[in-house]
Amino acid sequence: MKAIFPPSTPQSAYILGFYAADGNLASKCTYAISQKEKCILEKMERYISGKGLDCSVYSYLNKDLHKLDVKSNRDCEFLSRNNLGRGKTYFAKDIEIDRHLLIYFVIGLIDGDGHISGTTNIYSASRVFSTWVVRILNDIGICASLKERLRLNRLNYVPMYDIKINDLGSLLRLYCFSRKLDFVLDRKWDKLRASVTKKIKSRSRRSRPIKTGNKVEVECTCGTKLMRQENEIKHHRPTCKACVYKYTRINRVCTMCKESYHAARNQKTPMCTSCRLQLKEKTKLDRKKDRECKWIRQCRHCDKSIIRRYTNKTGLYLCQEHSKYSYMYKS
């Protein structure tokens, strides 16, 4: 009998991943894949029918949803054997698939149950299946992490597992392999391409030019001769240390000692270094005195000052002399 599972081509591995996300086992010989976009199901139908299988696409009347039905006993046996039958949402496990087709399986998962923004996320309710996906992604060189969170399902909270791919190299690799397939959800991969190009541009702006080449003699705006490398001159205007100090610092007057000093333009409170250190020490001493004053009290029967934390058990503020006769005093 004819079948496409276990997958032997990138297209069949993609369909298996798509089924693991948005498919269900309708009967012993029929499985279905549901999706809002009809064009992707029609492309799958053309590929599956080209393999000699009986398949057709249906549209729901009341919902904006379409379904692809495929009839194959061997495919249904393979899905049941790999825990992708009924209850696969919570009980899916490892799947029999070749190593070189794993990345196409993951691309199908992303198109089915994935979300692409700045990062790529895959959602699943099965812990065993999620850990297996993270393990195979790391094995094939794609950095992925797993996070567990709770989701409200009707009246109960159920665990949901989020597989996150954030590495720029991993995202680029996924996008390049998605271009090799005949059918993918273009809206998702166009969004991934836009986010990846944005990240590459932002990195190129932040990165400094690589200093290569021989040193060349150049002149600063003030006329000072400098030695700079050729590649550095293309990106930065050559300036000497005196000009940098001149344009970034200005003369200011200290608010405490009234003396002039050099300071940065963006300094909020004009104060020289010595006055700033004196003020810092003074505030430390003031805070210490305030903290000690909270504990100082006077004896009830004389003018001696005592520390509140060292009073006797009666709760009376008494000095050492009067505390001997504390039983004579009432609180």
Mean of all residue pLDDT scores within the chain: 81
Give the pLDDT confidence score for residue 10 in this predicted structure: 93
Is the same domain home to 168 and 23? yes
Residues 72, 178 within the same domain: yes
CATH of the domain at 85: 3.10.28.10
Q: Are residue 52 and residue 197 in the same domain, yes or no? A: yes
From 186, 201, 216, give the residue that closes a domain.
201
Note the pLDDT of residue 289: 65
Take residue 8 and report the two structure tokens written for it: 């032997």
Q: Which of 72, 39, 33, 81 is nearest to 53 (CA)?
A: 72
Task: Determine the pLDDT at residue 146.
Answer: 92
Is 279 within a domain?
no
Query: pLDDT tens-digit profile of 200-242?
Result: 877 765 544 444 557 778 788 777 887 776 666 665 666 777 7
Q: DSSP readout, 88-152?
A: HHHH-------GGGHHHHHHHHHHHHEEESSSEEEEES-HHHHHHHHHHHHHTT---EEEEEEEE
Residues in contact with 41: Cβ distance below 8 Å, sequence separation at least 6, in sequence order: 33, 35, 57, 66, 67, 68
Domain of 38? 10-201
For the cut 90, the answer to whether the pLDDT of residue 46 exceeds it is: yes
Q: How confident is the model at residue 243 (pLDDT cuts 50, 70, 90)?
A: confident
Q: Are residues 315 and 183 in the same domain?
A: no
Domain annotation covers residue 289? no
In the predicted structure, residue 169 carries a pLDDT above the cut 80: yes
Q: Which tops the pLDDT comparison, 286 or 47?
A: 47
**Above pLDDT 70, what percent of the chain?**
78
How far apart, in whole angstroms, are the C-alpha atoms of residue 181 and residue 189? 12
Among 159, 181, 201, identify where a domain stops: 201
* Tokens of residue 107, six digits: 């691309």
Same structural domain for residues 33 and 161? yes
What does the pLDDT read at residue 4?
93
Whether 18 shows a pLDDT value over 90: the answer reads: yes
> Is residue 282 included in any domain, yes or no?
no
Q: Does the predicted TM-score (pTM) go above 0.75?
A: no
Binned at pLDDT 50, 70 and 90, residue 245 comes out as: low
Poorest-pLDDT segment among 71-80, 129-138, 180-189, 240-249: 240-249
Lowest-confidence pick of 34-38, 108-112, 236-240, 314-318? 314-318
- Whether residue 5 is contained in a domain is answered as no
Report the DSSP pairing between strands 66-71 and 215-219. unpaired
Is the pLDDT at 29 greater than 50, yes or no? yes
Cβ partners under 8 Å of residue 61, min gap 6 = none
**What is the percent of the chain where pLDDT is above 90?**
36
Select from 171, 201, 231 the last residue of a domain. Answer: 201
Residues 193 and 303 in one domain: no
Give φ, ψ of 148 to 5 degrees.
-105, 135
- Out of 89-103, 177-191, 307-321, the most confident range is 177-191
**Residue pLDDT, tens place only, 54-110:** 999 999 877 789 999 999 999 999 998 888 887 777 777 788 899 999 999 999 999
Same domain for 168 and 29, yes or no, is: yes
Asked if the structure places residue 288 within a domain, the reply is: no
Q: Are 138 and 208 in contact (CB under 8 A)?
A: no
- The total number of structural domains in the chain stands at 2
Domain identity same for 314 and 167: no
For residue 107, being part of any structural domain is answered with: yes
- Same domain? For 26 and 138 the reply is yes
* In-domain check, residue 275: no
Q: Specify whether 193 is located in the same domain as 319.
A: no
Q: What is the mean predicted confidence (pLDDT) over 139-152?
A: 88
CA-based nearest residue to 19, from 111, 153, 151, 116: 111
Q: Is the residue at 268 inside a domain?
A: no
What confidence tier does 273 reach under pLDDT thresholds 50, 70, 90?
Answer: confident
